[in-house]
Amino acid sequence: MNDQSKIKQVLIKESSSLEYAESIINTVHEPLIVLNQDLRVVTASRSFYEFFKVNPEETVGQLIYDLGNKQWDIPKLRELLENILPQKTTFDNYEVEQDFAAIGRRVMLLNARQIERASGKERIILLAIEDITERKRLENILTDSEELYKGVFKTASDGIVLLEKSEGKITHTNPAAEKMLGYSTKDSIGNKLSDIGIMINMDDFQVIMQNLNKNGIINYTDVSIKTKSGQYIDTDLYLVDKTKLVQCNIRDISKRKEIESQKKAALESLRESEERYKALFDRSIDFVYSIDFEGCFIDANAAALNRFGYTSEEIHSLNFTSLLSEDQLPLAVKVIREIRETGIQMNLLEFRLRCKGGTHIYVETHGSAVMSNGIPVAIQAIARDITERKLAEAKLQQTLYSLKNAVGATIQVMVSAVEMKDPYTAGHQLRTADLACAIATEMGLAQEKIDGIHMAASIHDIGKLSIPAEILSKPTKLTNIEFSLIKEHVRSGYEMLKDVQSPWLLAQIVYQHHERMDGSGYPRNLKGDEIIMDARIMAVADVVEAMASHRPYRPALGIDATLEEIEKNRGILYDASVADACLRLFREKGYNLIA
């Protein structure tokens, strides 16, 4: 006969019927488990299986510590079953806490009963389990709430006086009430509110309590209280029904009343200010207008109406966006949305507006949100007519364009002159210009600067016009005197270009393109930051093209040897950033010199 059968026989003998015993066990509302003297499970109540989400097959016959993959191996449970219970036949409300995989962390009270058979040779243990997790949680919340209330009572800025409910006598006052009224807690306890200067009708306190029980709170507004020193302060009072006491909150509104008085004065001042604003609004020579966040005009001053060509009635039916061209709509919509969402003032913007009759004007406008209770409700804007300025700028741009064309034509004449004297130099200048522009683009320079570099590079050797042709095309090595003459071409080029009206530093670029970062160049031995960036770019482009191309006195050295020269002298002769950009062009981006 196995252990389970033996245990059942024991229960049959003790209770006359196993079914009878189990029916009793299953009627118990709380989880109940029956253990034998070896602490193995004999049986358990239905509520045990339901609560712990287990079944009899995995429970009955198991050592209690092994249940649920040893989740019941709880040190405090071992202490109860192995140390305490053997010394006592019963034990009540033994608190145990444990994490269970199926139901989470639980706090339980264990009630144990040890039952011995008449022979005293066998015993069984009834273990009742009461889940008190929720109760403990509520107790903790209550404890925290009480501590919080105590903290609030002591630190509240409002005065708080606690009254007992039978006659309205004071039981406690907080520090704020003591400071506000001048009465210490000792002075106040046992007295009524009227005794500490709070003159509200407390004659029939039970009537007050009936109203308080009905509503939970009673307000008394603008109550004047006499302090212990004889001064009067303005307050609002609140009687609040608490569980055992009545709480009287005292709020000093003296500052609020002072602020209200100041606000009244401010409103009067605002009214006067609005009148002054209206006068400025009407007389301003700038356009002053307001629109809602849909773009509809709310108001516009006389200057705006006159320039736009609309009456005040007509402007109210217009939308600001209807005056804009289609390409300007996205910007206008974006700005309106940003002001509505952030309330931030918009930056100065230019718009081209269509007036009544189809004419157009240019305006420079800025504005900010009109706020109400901290919320943007509209946009107030000021605009200035800049039509004449825009026309003047357009004329200036046209003049500048014509000037650039004239400079370009002059440069082209110079290039042609160089080509006639030295075909090698002419081709060199074209390829150098293309490479210099590519380097400048790789470095991320502005297009305006790139245009200037291209123009200067196209004529950087123009000074060679002053050098005899037989020296320029000499097929053998130059003498020292001849080379000195060649070096003079940069100075000659500078002299030719220094008086040319141009938006670019053409003369300086030509003057410096043979200077080197370490000061070893010519004609002035400039170094480092003394050399302008345009000339540094020209220097690298000039060297690369010269070495990689054929000359009368030597064959081309090849691009590999040329790039090795640039890499070797990077940061020494040549600007490091320019050298890096050049090397990237050839080695990573497949740049080729134009044949």
- CATH code (residue 545): 1.10.3210.10
Q: pLDDT tens digits, residue range 102-145?
A: 888 889 888 888 887 555 567 788 888 888 887 777 666 555 44
Residue 350 lies in a domain: yes
What's the number of domains the chain is made of?
4
Q: Calculate the average pLDDT of the chain.
A: 81
Ramachandran quadrant class, 204 (left: phi over 0; alpha: psi -120 to 50; beta: rest)? beta
Instruction: Give the number of other CB atoms < 10 A from CB of residue 36.
Output: 18
pLDDT bracket for residue 275 (50, 70, 90): low
Residue 19 lies in a domain: yes
pLDDT of residue 231: 92
Indicate if 434 and 369 belong to the same structural domain: no
Pick from 36-40, 305-309, 510-514 the range whose average pLDDT is largest. Answer: 510-514
pLDDT bracket for residue 5 (50, 70, 90): very low
Residue 419 lies in a domain: yes
Indicate if 458 and 532 belong to the same structural domain: yes
* Residue 496 contacts residue 456 (beta carbons within 8 Å): no
* Residue 235 contacts residue 251 (beta carbons within 8 Å): yes
Indicate if 182 and 57 belong to the same structural domain: no
Indicate if 122 and 166 belong to the same structural domain: no
Q: Which helix (H) or strand (E) holds 402?
A: helix 387-421
Indicate if 380 and 424 belong to the same structural domain: no
pTM attached to this predicted model: 0.38
Nearest residue to 150 via CA among 174, 114, 178: 174
Q: How buried is residue 522: exposed, middle or buried, by Cβ count under 10 Å (0-12/13-18/19+)?
A: middle
pLDDT of residue 532: 94
Indicate if 189 and 310 belong to the same structural domain: no
Indicate if 173 and 315 belong to the same structural domain: no
pLDDT bracket for residue 79 (50, 70, 90): confident
Choosing from 385, 416, 450, the residue where a domain stops is 385
Choosing from 252, 269, 304, the residue where a domain stops is 252
Starting at the edge strand that comes first in sequence, how are the strands of the sheet with 287-291 ordered?
297-300, 287-291, 375-385, 360-372, 349-354
* Residue 216 contacts residue 188 (beta carbons within 8 Å): no
User: Taking residues 493-497, what's their average pLDDT?
Assistant: 88
Q: Is the pLDDT of residue 82 over 90?
A: no
Residue 106 lies in a domain: yes
Indicate if 211 and 166 belong to the same structural domain: yes
Choosing from 96, 131, 166, the residue where a domain stops is 131
User: Taking residues 58-64, what's their average pLDDT?
Assistant: 89
- The Cα–Cα gap between 62 and 463 comes to 108
| Residue keyed to tokens 């080379």 | 483
**Residue type (1 letter), 262:** Q
Better-scored residue on pLDDT, 112 or 282: 112
Indicate if 115 and 161 belong to the same structural domain: no
- DSSP letter for 422, please: -
Range of the domain at 425: 394-587
- DSSP letter for 479, please: P
Residue 279 lies in a domain: no
- The Cα–Cα gap between 422 and 464 comes to 9
Residue 222 lies in a domain: yes
- CATH code (residue 83): 3.30.450.20
Residue 272 lies in a domain: no
| Residue keyed to tokens 């339901």 | 50
pLDDT bracket for residue 3 (50, 70, 90): very low
| C-alpha torsion sign, points 279, 284, 290, 296 | positive
Give the pairing type, strands 217-226 and 159-164.
Answer: unpaired
Indicate if 379 and 398 belong to the same structural domain: no
Three-state SS at 514: coil
Indicate if 99 and 234 belong to the same structural domain: no
Indicate if 420 and 532 belong to the same structural domain: yes
Residue 101 lies in a domain: yes
Q: pLDDT tens digits, residue range 367-388?
A: 788 888 778 888 888 888 888 8
